[in-house]
Every structure is written in C-alpha cells, then in structure tokens.
Structure 1
Amino acid sequence: MKFWTLFSSLICFLILLILPQVYGGDIVHEDDKAPKQPGCDNSFVLVKVPTWVDGFEDVEYVGVGARFGPTLESKEKHANRTKLTLADPPDCCSPPRNKLTGEAILVYRGNCSFTTKANNAEDAGASAILIVNNSTELFKMVCETDADTDIRIPAIMLPNDAGATLENLLYNDSSVYLQLYSPKRPAVDVAEVFLWLMALGTILCASYWSAWNAREAAIERDKLSKDASDEMVAASGTGYSGFVDISTGSALLFVVIASGFLVMLYKLMSVWFIDVLVVLFCIGGAEGLQTCLVAFLSSFKWFEHAAVTIVKVPFFGAISCLAMAVSPLCIIFAVVWAVFRREAYAWIGQDILGIALILTVLQIVRVPNLKVGTVLLSCAFLYDIFWVFVSKYLFHESVMIVVARGDNSGEDGIPMLLKIPRMFDPWGGYSVIGFGDILLPGLVIAFSLRYDWLGNKKIRAGYFLWAICAYGFGLLITYVALNLMDGHGQPALLYIVPFTLGTLLTLGKKRRDLKNLWSRGEPDRPCTHVRLHSSQ
C-alpha cells in the first residue's frame, strides 16, 4: 500500500474515532438543578420573536421562556401581534412610570429578581415582558424562594445584541410590533430517515467493497498455493499488504487515544483550531474521494488501461494514470467545500467527503476476528457513555456534545459529522451523526460479510444480514430516544453496540461457529479454491 494512502488513512481513522455519538439540538431544556415550585415549574423553551418595524417585517429573534408565567402559543397564527415599548425605569425594579395598555415591555436584567420585574410589568398593564440579558447568551430565568409566582404574562429572555437593536429602534421613535410563540418540533423529521438510510447505505457499500477485496485476495492466494510448497505459501501470505488489521492491543488503546484527542478538541476549541480540523478533513476527504472514484471507474473497460498504467511521481511514488487524473478534481472539490463551508448548501459537500472517507477507511482498516471487534466496540461503548454523560460531573458540561456543536469556535459544529438539514422543523438546524457511529460498527459488520463470503454462506445462513439489521435497529432506537428526551444529545453506541455485538455472539454460539468467529476470523474451507470461484 502506498505511503500516502496509509498515512492519510491513519489520520482519517483518528479523526473519525473522536466523535462516536448522535447529537440533537436542544429545544426544550429540562434542568433539575433549577428550583421548581408551584407557579414556577415551566420547561425552558426557546421562543420565536418576529418583529415589524414601521409596518414592515423585520428581524426574527430567538429568546428563552422563564420558569414562571403562562404557556406560550405554539403556532404563529394564534399569537397576538403586540406593540413594544421601553420600561421606565429600564430595569423595571420599581413600578413603571408609564402606564401601559397591553403593550410588551422591554427591560434590562439586574438590580432585582426576574419575578419582581414581571410582577411590576403586569401591574402596570403590560401583556408581556422581554428581559435583555447582559451578554449574548440566553440565561434561564428561575424563581427565588418565597417569590410571588402568580404571574399571568409571559416572560422572555433576549440576548444583549437583540435588546440593543430593539432599544435603538424605540429611541428613534420607530413603531415596533412583535409576536411571541414557541413552535414544537415534529416527532419525526424526514432528515432523520435520510440520515438513517445514509448510515446503513455507507456500511452496506463499504462491507461489499471490503468483502470483494478480501475474496479476490483469497483467490489469488489459493491460486499461488496450488502445486506450491509450504514455504512459498508463507511467502505469498506475508507479501500481501493491502489492509491494516486492528489488534487487540490497539483496540484497547482506542479509549486512551480517542479520549486524549477529544479533550484536546474541548480545551483548544477555537476558530484557528477548527481551521486545522478542516484542513485535516479535506486531506482525508480528498484521499477518500480519490480512492472511491478510482475503484469505481476501474470497473469500466474504458478506464482499464489507465488504471493499470503506473507512473512514478517524485515524493508520492508509483501512481496509476487514472489516480493522477482524478486527484486534482478531488482536491479542488475539497478546497471548494472548505471555502464555502459556511453556506447553507455546504452540507452536501461535507457528506460526500465524509462518506468517501468512511468507505476508504472501512476497506483499508479491518477487524481480523470477532474478538478484536468485541474489544473495540466494548471500549467505544464505554468511551461514548463516559464522554456524553459522566463528563458532565467532571467538566460541568458534556464534553462530547460541546465538541460536536463546536462551541466557542464560530462554526456550526466540527466537520467530522454527516448532516442533513431538518426539512420540516420550524427551528431549522441539522440532524447529525458522528463518523464513529458508522465506522466502528461498520468494521465489525464488514468482517461478518467477509466471513460469509469466504465460507460461501447464503445470505440468511450467514451473519452479515443479521448484523446490519441489528445495527439499523440500534440506530433507530437511538433516534427514538433522541426524540423522547426532547432533543438532548444521545450516545448512539449505547444502543448500537449491544444490538450488533449481541446478535453476532448469539448467532455464533447457536450455530456452534463462535470459535472460528472469535479467534480465526475465517470459516473452515476444505476446498478453498473451488468454493471461492463457485460463489462468484
């Protein structure tokens, strides 16, 4: 295998492993630490605040509702359009001097409690209170002990920049009207269905590619071993170097290496560090796209000559003419994506590069037997749970989810994710899945298909069909859990690993084939050469 293919593949493998999780954007925020009491037990919901300035539609802001106050309308058509006015005094810590007749009032945070501001605004005749935070973040408004929580007007927190814009408009005597409503996210979005199909399709293609390469290699070894001595067989076996097999030791090191990379991402998360990740992703994506295109085009007779014609290139070594022709296109594609990655349509290029990267790694990096696959997935299972759930108690936030979102980076998440925009979600955003959630189970599923093909097993009598069905069911359960838990981030491997591994181990034991699966990684083939050809 060429040095650059191996080098880029190892980079990609490290990149892919750091984020094995599914993340969903939080719309309803439950918080067990925030105090609750009668009249102050609302969920923290995001609120849409569309505005009209001097009769023309203007900016739509996003705020967060308070623990107290009434429940907001979920549909825009049911929300009343209300005039906005400034509070006097601005903090509304004393009864406003201006008597109101149903207007929404804009006040600033500080000097007294949120419930005091809301009670004063309600007593003055306001229909809603918009409290401007002292930073660009949204703060969860709770009730103090023994507070008067009999508040019948909605209270919304707005970020500092939104409040400053609205205040300037009102100081300039502009007429500002607004609506307050909190639309609900649909139970199932089409994006999640497509993402589920994309993950299964990627593993399916990678498994067949890996199995095909393994069978062709086995046929070549069988041809060489026919009428050959044992020494020649051994020499031919050691000369074959098309793959990188994961060992038990390297599978155990997964937790340490991946955790170190994840903590580094968490601590160094910034604009410049995201740029470094983008460069690495482009290198791996371009290499993966080139490998996939060369393999695909080589299957057509028009490109057979270019695929087998080799030229030597300084520093890169021997490269086929087809690879040389395809490489510039792949590099251009990756660079164009990097330049326009903040555009709304950039997810298409990111998914293409990501899928090509996963396909390439899955056909180069292999699990040699079920023992290594079990160790690898078990380590990933614990890694996923720890960095999504347990890390909250050590770092006061979920490290995995913070890194996946790209907090403090100025980016909409890091690029090591497959993503699809939510098509029917009023809040927009993306449904995403970490590369690791496809790659890690995919290594074991690809192994199961190689095992089936080498043993000339029929589809139902083999292991691949049941393994990929178990993976699909586990991923489906992940999305169900994601929706049942109000969009909070979920570790997909928590659900995928038990289904996938449990299915393979149970079937292997039931069929009395677990010993071969566990240690050898190959079925018994008494007449290997004939059987391999008969399965084609």
Structure 2
Amino acid sequence: MMKMKEALGVVLFSLTFLTSQINGQEAVLHISDASSYREYCVVHNHSWTPLPQLLDSALQYQLVNLTSTLLCNSSGINPDVVKGKALVAMRGECDFSQKALVAQSLGAAALLIASSKSLVTPSANDSEYTKVKIPLALMRYRDFLEAKKVFGEGMQASLYAPPYSKIDPSIAVILLISMVTITLGGFWSGACERDRLNSLSGGGGESKANGGELSLYSPLKVIVFVALMCGMLVLMYFFYNILVYVIIAIFCFASASALFSCLDAVMDLIGCNSLSVSVRNRSFSVRSVLLAAVCITIAVIWGVYRNEDRWIWILQDLLGIAFCLNFMKTISLSNFKICVILLSLLLVYDVFFVFITPFFTKNGVSIMVQVALGPDASGEKTQGNMVEIPAEPQPPAEKLPVVMRIPRFSAWAQNLCGMQFSILGYGDIIIPGLLVAYCSRFDVWINSRKKIYFISCCIAYLLGMILTFAVMLLSGMGQPALLYLVPFTLITSVVLAGCRGEMKQFWAGTPYEVLDSPREPLLSEGRIDRSVDGETC
C-alpha cells in the first residue's frame, strides 16, 4: 500500500511546474438609472484610449443603442441623435479604428462595441492611434441585452479602469504558504530522522525506523526519475484531455493520504490518545477512522467542485500543502551529491520546458505553460498586455491540480471579467524542499542544536523566492522559479559547509546501514573530519 502511494506521489510530482501571471486591460462599465446600477466587464486598450481610474472621475454618458448596425459608415445615422452620447454598435466587418472614427465624426463621446465572440484588446495600425480621440471598449453583447432589460432605453453609462498594483497582496500569501510549507516539511523530516536513530539505538529494527520512507541514493535513479518527468510532461501535452482526469483522480487519492499523515502527526504531537475498538477480532483506531473520513470527504468535495473558482482554491491549497509536506517527509535524498544532481537536472528541465519549447510548438506557447493552464485557457496564455475573454459562458476547463492558487485581491476589474489568481507550482516548493529536508537531517546527524544548515537553507529559499517575484514583476513575465531557487539554496549550503569545514561529510551523507552507534551523531557540533566507525566519508 505504501509503495503504491509513493508511486502515485511521484507521478503527481512529475507534473509540477511554474505558470505565468497575466496582466490585462480590463475595465468597468457602470450602467445606472435613477435608483440602481450594475457593473459589467469591458476590455479596452489603455495605451490607445485611456480611461479614468475612479468612478467619480468618469464622465457619464447616455447610451444610444446602435446594435442594429456595424457602424462601418455613417449612412442612415442622424448626428443629432448621437452627439455627446455613448454608442453601442455590433462587432464585425470593419476594424475597431474605423468604427471609432465613424462614431467620432458623428460627434459621439464614446464607443462600446458589443461582441458575441471573445473580447480582445482593441488595437489598430500605428497611423490610426492618434486619430481616435474618444474612449473605445469591447463589451459582451449578452451584458448589453441584460442591461437593456433591467434599465430600458434610458441607460446612463460610465467607463473607468480601477488601478491595481502589480505587487498584489496575494503574492505575499503565496510567499507565506511556500515558506511555512518548506519550514514545516524540513522540520518534520528532521524529526523523523531523529526518531529513526532513536528507534535503531533502542533496538526497534530497521523496518520500524523506516516509517515508509523512500530514499534516493543512486545518481542513475535520479536521472531515470527526471527522464520520467520529461516523458510525463510531453504525454500530458499531447494527450491532455484524457490524462488530466487520471491526474485528478491520483491527486484526490494522494492528497487525502497526505492530509491524513499530516493530521495524524499533529494528533500525536498534541498527545491525543487513540482509542481502539475491536470488530470481529480486528482492532480499529477510532482516531484513524475519523481522520480518514475527514480527509476523504475533503478530497471528494474538491473533486466534485474543483471548477468552482470562487472558493474551491481554499481546499486545493490545503490539500496541496499536505501533499508537499508528506512528499518532503517521505522522499529523502541520501547525500548532498544526490541533491546537486537532482536539483541541477530539474533546473535544466524547468528552463527548457518554459523558455526553449516555445520555439517548437505551433502556437508559440511553452509546453510547461500549455500543460499548466490547459489547452482551452487561451485567455490566460495571451502574452503581454493583450487579453482575450470569452463573450459567452464557457464550460469549465479542466486544469491540473498541482499549483497553489490565491485570488488577486487588488484586481477588482479583472475579477469582474473572471477571477485572476497568483499561482505557484508544487514543484517550486517540493524540489528545493528536498534539499531543505536533507539539511534538517544533517543537523540531526551532527547534533546541531542551532539547526544551522536547516535555517540557512530556509533563508536562502526565502531570498530566492523574493528574487523570483521581483524579476517577474519587473519583466511582466512568468519565471521558472527554480532558476533562482536552486542556485540560492545549493550555493548557500556549499558555502556554509565549507566555512564549517564539514564539506566532506555534507557531500557524502550518512549511510545508515553501516552506523554502528546510532546514539552518536556523525559529527559533534563544531568538530570536523571525524570518522564514524565502519564509515568512509
């Protein structure tokens, strides 16, 4: 059973990745009458037709319904009817700039283009930009029909684009989640290592001390592991619509099991006793049964409501944190050499599939982003400041549940058009987390009361994350976080071990099976080059 869970965890881990955060040109259409109002999503081009940032600063226009025409010319339209007002015309046949110039020649104060297709950022030839002097935006045709039904013909409209900071508070929440997960996972791994050594010294036996852990100790196994990750990612790219449901099922099982392990450890920590009940000569732990029921229920609720963006991200993040914690505790790297090989290969993997693969794909989107966001998430994959929003309700697009998701708190207009999220892949927590866990175990081996390696690696991870977000915000592009996290954590660990004179032992690690005296640490605090009986470093 444990081997199956480990295998499922490895499969899910192989699909972890970094995805992009998109900056849009969404704005708000405020429609009102004397007693009520409603607000709708519109898309504009700020560099072409900027809008005021606040509703109080926005001009109010009377809406004129010209959805019976495409407004490619002014024939049949009385200028006196539209002068100083906002026009609503249908999308089609001619360019946005031509419609705007026609509306402008008629004396209109603003132009709204109703679309039954997707809403895209309006653009024009460079020569046309300076000619258009009135605000221009696209709105959903169904929104206009709804507003017409609610307010009738006497609609008053205002257009504004609320400002939102690129440094959204959701980034701080993502950073907090990653740091808490890294710290708890490393601490848990170190505590398990201490229990393991105590169990061995007390004659508990190797199997009891193992606790279901799986150790990576061979460079060949690491290479095969990374190769399998590459193969899984490529398969997901070509067979996404089939394999996504397999991954969702695996996530439900693996995350429920991981949540059970985490909650069970918390119960042990607070000293909650486990009452046993015998049924047909079989003993059952009441605590374990109740915890299993809770964890399975949470996983099932997530599986059923996984596409409810408004609130399901809470459960996904909870299950994701548990999955990362359990992975860091279960999978251990035997020495620093394995850490270097694994993290270096995964760094190359991350950079290649984010930056290199766009040159080979048909749509110019990296395989990593395509798999992360799904083939139907075209609006989220749009580059730069260009956005694309569906004009009609779309069936929910299945996405892989391998990212932490936090709604962007400051993007009010963007959330009106569709919820925007700051996201971080599980791999950006787990991969450096395996090194943090190794440092925590090494602190146990050398009996470091200050946990110098563990704390230093956590600080290095924090600095790497801060640099990742800084580069992302400055460049306006999603970044492969491992490009910054791997060098920060590896170099910090190397420098610390070198300064303390423990590089030889830190590099070689501790093969448990040849330790003759588990009660003794590998090195005493502050001492170097000490051999352990039966061990060659």
User: Normalised by the shorter chain, which TM-score bucket?
Assistant: 0.7 to 0.9
Distance 1:146 1:72, change over 3 A: closer
Q: For 1:202 and 1:311, how far apart are their aligned partners in 2? A: 41
Judge which range, 83-92 or 470-479, deviates more: 83-92
Q: For 1:13 and 1:220, how far apart are their aligned partners in 2? A: 27
Residues 244 and 399, structure 2, Cα contact 8 Å, conserved in 1? no
Q: Deviations over 1:166-214 (max 9, x none)?
A: 2576599633332222222224333222221211111111111111111
Match of 1:201 in 2: 180
Q: Normalising by structure 1, report the TM-score.
A: 0.81
Match of 2:295 in 1: 330
Q: For 2:280 and 2:266, how far apart are their aligned partners in 1? A: 20
Match of 1:192 in 2: 171
Distance 1:85 1:385, change over 3 A: farther
Q: Decide which of 241, 255, 279 is 2:249's aligned counterpart.
A: 279
Match of 1:31 in 2: none
Match of 1:35 in 2: none
Q: For 2:12 and 2:474, how far apart are their aligned partners in 1? A: 30
Aligned pairs for 1:23-62 (under 5 A) are 23-27=20-24, 45-52=25-32, 56-62=36-42
Q: Decide which of 249, 256, 279 is 2:220's aligned counterpart.
A: 249
Q: For 2:302 and 2:186, how far apart are their aligned partners in 1? A: 27
Q: Decide which of 338, 353, 357 is 2:323's aligned counterpart.
A: 357
1:9 matched to 2:6:
yes
Distance 1:457 1:384, change over 3 A: same
Residues 373 and 444, structure 1, Cα contact 8 Å, conserved in 2? yes
Residues 116 and 142, structure 2, Cα contact 8 Å, conserved in 1? no
Q: For 1:292 and 1:108, how far apart are their aligned partners in 2? A: 56
Matched letter for residue 449 of structure 1: S
The number of residues matched between the two structures is 493
Distance 1:327 1:175, change over 3 A: same
Residues 264 and 288, structure 2, Cα contact 8 Å, conserved in 1? yes
1:391 matched to 2:357:
yes
1:416 matched to 2:402:
yes
Q: Deviations over 1:63-102 (max 9, x none)?
A: 232763x322122221222222234872222125231222
Aligned pairs for 1:2-151 (under 5 A) are 3=1, 5-21=2-18, 23-27=20-24, 45-52=25-32, 56-65=36-45, 68=48, 70-87=49-66, 90-95=69-74, 97-99=77-79, 100-133=82-115, 135=117, 137-144=118-125, 146-147=127-128, 149-151=130-132
Q: For 1:376 and 1:300, how far apart are their aligned partners in 2? A: 35
Q: For 2:468 and 2:138, how far apart are their aligned partners in 1? A: 32
Q: Deviations over 1:189-244 (max 9, x none)?
A: 3322222121111111111111111122123334449xxxxxxxxx9589957311
Residues 86 and 106, structure 1, Cα contact 8 Å, conserved in 2? yes
Distance 1:242 1:279, change over 3 A: closer
Match of 2:141 in 1: 163
1:503 to partner: Cα distance = 0.9
Match of 2:158 in 1: 179
1:450 matched to 2:456:
no
Matched letter for residue 442 of structure 1: G
1:56 to partner: Cα distance = 3.2
Q: Which secondary structure state, in structure 2, belongs to the residue aligned with residue 350 of structure 1?
A: helix
Q: Which secondary structure state, in structure 2, belongs to the residue aligned with residue 179 of structure 1?
A: strand
Residues 128 and 155, structure 1, Cα contact 8 Å, conserved in 2? yes
Q: Decide which of 443, 461, 464 is 1:474's aligned counterpart.
A: 464
Residues 194 and 444, structure 2, Cα contact 8 Å, conserved in 1? yes
Q: Deviations over 1:344-365 (max 9, x none)?
A: 2322222221111111111111
Q: Normalising by structure 2, report the TM-score.
A: 0.81
Q: For 1:333 and 1:175, how far apart are their aligned partners in 2? A: 49
1:59 to partner: Cα distance = 4.5
Q: Deviations over 1:77-132 (max 9, x none)?
A: 21222222234872222125231222222233333332222211111112222234
Q: For 1:18 and 1:244, how far apart are their aligned partners in 2? A: 19
1:297 to partner: Cα distance = 1.7
Matched letter for residue 150 of structure 1: K
1:300 to partner: Cα distance = 4.7
Q: Deviations over 1:248-301 (max 9, x none)?
A: 22332344332333334344445x765443322211111111111222223454
Q: Decide which of 466, 479, 499 is 1:510's aligned counterpart.
A: 499
Match of 1:38 in 2: none
1:13 to partner: Cα distance = 2.9
Match of 1:33 in 2: none
Q: For 2:244 and 2:42, how far apart are their aligned partners in 1? A: 26
Q: For 1:129 and 1:521, how far apart are their aligned partners in 2? A: 71
Residues 406 and 423, structure 2, Cα contact 8 Å, conserved in 1? yes
Q: Which secondary structure state, in structure 2, belongs to the residue aligned with residue 157 of structure 1?
A: strand
Matched residues, percent identical? Answer: 25
Residues 440 and 453, structure 2, Cα contact 8 Å, conserved in 1? yes
1:368 matched to 2:334:
yes
Matched letter for residue 389 of structure 1: F
Residues 85 and 170, structure 1, Cα contact 8 Å, conserved in 2? no
Structure 2: gaps (5+ residues): 378-395, 526-537
Matched letter for residue 250 of structure 1: K
CA RMSD of aligned residues (A): 3.5
Q: Which secondary structure state, in structure 1, belongs to the residue aligned with residue 320 of structure 2?
A: helix
Residues 66 and 142, structure 1, Cα contact 8 Å, conserved in 2? no
Structure 1: gaps (5+ residues): 28-44, 226-234
Residues 420 and 432, structure 1, Cα contact 8 Å, conserved in 2? yes
Match of 1:425 in 2: 411
Distance 1:525 1:508, change over 3 A: farther
Q: Which secondary structure state, in structure 1, belongs to the residue aligned with residue 108 of structure 2?
A: coil
Matched letter for residue 220 of structure 1: S
Distance 1:453 1:183, change over 3 A: same
Q: Which secondary structure state, in structure 1, belongs to the residue aligned with residue 29 of structure 2?
A: strand
Q: For 1:424 and 1:67, how far apart are their aligned partners in 2? A: 21
Q: For 2:524 and 2:486, how far apart are their aligned partners in 1? A: 34
Q: Decide which of 133, 143, 160 is 1:152's aligned counterpart.
A: 133
Residues 104 and 127, structure 1, Cα contact 8 Å, conserved in 2? yes
Judge which range, 72-81 or 406-415, deviates more: 406-415
Q: For 1:312 and 1:337, how far apart are their aligned partners in 2? A: 35
Residues 477 and 495, structure 1, Cα contact 8 Å, conserved in 2? yes
1:499 to partner: Cα distance = 0.7
Distance 1:372 1:344, change over 3 A: same
Q: For 1:114 and 1:250, how far apart are their aligned partners in 2? A: 57
Residues 82 and 104, structure 1, Cα contact 8 Å, conserved in 2? yes
1:436 to partner: Cα distance = 0.8
Q: For 2:161 and 2:99, how far apart are their aligned partners in 1? A: 22
1:405 to partner: Cα distance = 3.2
Distance 1:62 1:319, change over 3 A: farther
Q: For 1:207 and 1:88, how far apart are their aligned partners in 2? A: 61
Matched letter for residue 57 of structure 1: Y
Distance 1:494 1:64, change over 3 A: farther
1:500 matched to 2:478:
no
